[in-house]
Amino acid sequence: MINIKRIYNPADDKDGFRILVDRLWPRGISKKAAKLDLWLKDVAPSNELRKWFAHDPERWDEFQIKYREELKNKKDLLNQIMDIERDGKKITLIYAAKDQEHNNAIVLQDVINDFKS
């Protein structure tokens, strides 16, 4: 099972294996407070795509298409996440965006679930 959670929400034992999926370290969060098991910054959108999107909901549909394209070249990282899940661990993809409905973790979660089926 793969969940998503904003890094500014308190870590919980129920999160399981916590993976930060942002390219940049979240502002105002210490590594200790983040309680991460892994930081997969290379699975995040490219700097160009991240800057273009700028969390603009009007660009959401196009962002999803472009990010999915980028993820096609990152199957090794997707497999790394799925291997952790196959080991029986619950996974929580951690992101920093304020917008809980338009962020890369949502797309990544969907792509992994599609990849598994």
Average pLDDT, the chain: 95
Q: Mean pLDDT throughout 12-16?
A: 94
60-99 per-position pLDDT tens digit: 999 999 999 999 999 999 999 999 999 988 999 999 999 9
Strands (E) in the chain, as ranges, are 2-6, 17-20, 38-39, 91-95
Confirm if 38 and 59 have CB atoms less than 8 A apart. no
Query: In the chain, how many domains are there?
Result: 1
pTM beyond 0.75: the answer is yes
pLDDT, mean of residues 39-52: 97
In this prediction, residue 1 carries a pLDDT of: 84
pLDDT confidence bin for 33, thresholds 50/70/90: very high
Query: CA-CA distance, 86 to 39, in Å (whole number)?
Result: 19
**Which residues span the domain enclosing 18?**
2-116
Residue showing tokens 């962020």: 103
The vertex-90 CA angle with 85 and 95, nearest 5°, equals 100
Residue 117 has pLDDT above 80, yes or no: no
Q: Residue 46 has what DSSP assignment? A: P
Q: Are strands 17-20 and 2-6 parallel, antiparallel or unpaired?
A: unpaired
In angstroms, how far is CA 28 from the centroid of its own chain? 19
Residue type, 23: R
For residues 103-108, give the mean pLDDT.
98
